[in-house]
């Protein structure tokens, strides 16, 4: 094959925790990248012991080992976008920030993973402060859910009214984030509404709520999908729109499937395995 005919992969790097059940973390990120036509790379920050029911325990890898994982990838491979998920250690947050700032210029999508869906703390108090101080200024987009947004903003109540969510997003932007997507999955009602605030202004995204218990890894999937579309060159608002659409369709496709005895995963590869999609579901209009 002639050298001039070769094309580079579109690559996305996930810096996140390991989930042995495959529904969230590194595993969900890599599945999302692959489903959207990107080549996934990974740096593991934490090892979790979990299944579909809950997280039983977790352990952070040494910051030096995380740094080394990242360094050897950066020196060899062109990285088009980065997604950051679970980082439980402040030392690791600082190490990641230093390497990204000095050696990468790709857009960074920061998913502020503070707790598991079952309520287990996944970030120390020091790590939360470091995430705001070190990673917010480097991120093209920060994607907290409602509880995470409230905690990061120092609020004592959950913002559920649209006006409160908009004020919380503005506060997070003032804390150093270039853009904020507050995910409204914890809101009630028949629609799931997310709010994006960037330098271009605010935009609400709305879609019918998918009735399913298989929601494990939804936040990981959404942030990874946004990172994948960012790697492909889409602007932020369009990357968010397309990332949400992929996530909703993956939720729909996984609603009728069973894995384990708790909250199962999304079906990331529904576009390629139509025979596995539950009967009667269809993509969003």
pLDDT digits over 86-119, tens only? 999 999 999 999 999 999 999 999 999 998 776 7
Q: What's residue 277's pLDDT?
A: 45
Per-residue pLDDT for 285 more than 60? no
Residues 5-32 have a mean pLDDT of 96
| Residue 4 belongs to a domain | no
Structural domain includes residue 166: yes
Q: What is the mean pLDDT of the chain?
A: 92
Residue 174 placed within a domain: yes
26 SS3 class: helix
Tell me if residue 56 falls in helix, strand or coil: strand
Average pLDDT on 267-284 reads 62
% of the chain exceeding 70 in pLDDT: 93
- 285 within domain boundaries: no
Instruction: Give me the active site residues, please.
Output: 183, 215, 217-220
Count structural domains, the chain: 1
The answer to whether 139 and 110 have CB atoms below 8 angstroms apart is: yes
Mean of pLDDT values over 225-252: 97
Choice between 126 and 118, residue whose per-residue pLDDT is larger: 126
The whole-number average pLDDT for the span 36-65 is: 96
- pTM for the structure as a whole: 0.92
Residue 135 lies in a domain: yes
Q: What residues make up the domain containing 160?
A: 9-276
Dihedral angle at the C-alpha atoms of 192, 195, 25, 221, nearest 10 degrees? 60
Q: Please compute the mean of the pLDDT values over residues 196-215 and round it to a whole number.
A: 95
Average pLDDT over residues 190-215: 94
Q: Residue 279: what pLDDT?
A: 43
What does the DSSP assignment read for 63-112?
HHHHHHHHHHHHTTS---EEEE-----HHHHHHHHHHHHHH--S-EEE--
**Considering the chain, what percentage of its residues have pLDDT values greater than 90?**
81
Q: Mind giving me the DSSP string for 162-231?
A: HHHHHHHHHHHHHTT-S-EEEB-TTS-SSEEEEEEEETTEEEEEEEEPP--S--BTHHHHHHHHHHHHHH
Mean pLDDT of 151-161: 86
Q: Domain holding 272: CATH number?
A: 3.40.1190.20
pLDDT at 25 (0 to 100): 97
Q: Which range, of 29-43, 70-84, 102-116, 214-228, averages the lowest pLDDT?
A: 102-116
């Amino acid at each position: 094959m002639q050298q001039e005919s070769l094309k580079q992969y579109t690559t996305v790097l996930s810096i996140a925790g390991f989930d042995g059940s495959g529904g969230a973390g590194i595993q969900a990120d890599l599945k999302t990248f692959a489903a959207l036509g990107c080549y996934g790379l990974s740096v593991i920050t934490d090892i979790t012991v979990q299944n579909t029911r809950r997280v039983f325990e977790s352990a952070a890898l040494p910051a030096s080992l995380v740094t080394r994982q990242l360094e050897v990838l950066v020196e060899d491979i062109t990285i088009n976008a980065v997604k950051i998920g679970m980082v439980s250690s402040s030392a690791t947050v600082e190490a990641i920030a230093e390497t990204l700032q000095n050696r990468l210029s790709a857009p960074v999508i920061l998913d502020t993973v503070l707790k598991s869906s079952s309520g287990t703390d996944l970030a120390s108090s020091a790590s939360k402060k470091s995430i705001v101080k070190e990673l917010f200024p480097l991120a093209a987009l920060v994607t907290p859910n409602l509880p995470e947004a409230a905690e990061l903003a120092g609020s004592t109540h959950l913002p559920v009214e649209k006006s409160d969510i908009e004020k919380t997003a503005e506060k997070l932007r003032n804390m150093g984030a270039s853009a904020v997507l507050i995910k409204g999955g914890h809101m009630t009602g028949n629609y799931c509404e997310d709010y994006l605030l960037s330098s271009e202004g605010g935009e609400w995204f709305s879609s019918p709520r998918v009735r399913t218990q298989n929601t494990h890894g939804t936040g990981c999937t959404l942030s990874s999908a946004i990172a994948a579309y960012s790697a492909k060159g889409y602007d932020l608002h369009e990357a968010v729109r397309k990332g949400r659409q992929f996530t909703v369709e993956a939720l729909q496709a996984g609603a009728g499937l069973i894995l384990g005895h708790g909250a199962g995963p999304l079906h990331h590869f529904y576009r390629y395995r139509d025979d596995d999609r539950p009967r009667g579901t269809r993509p969003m209009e």
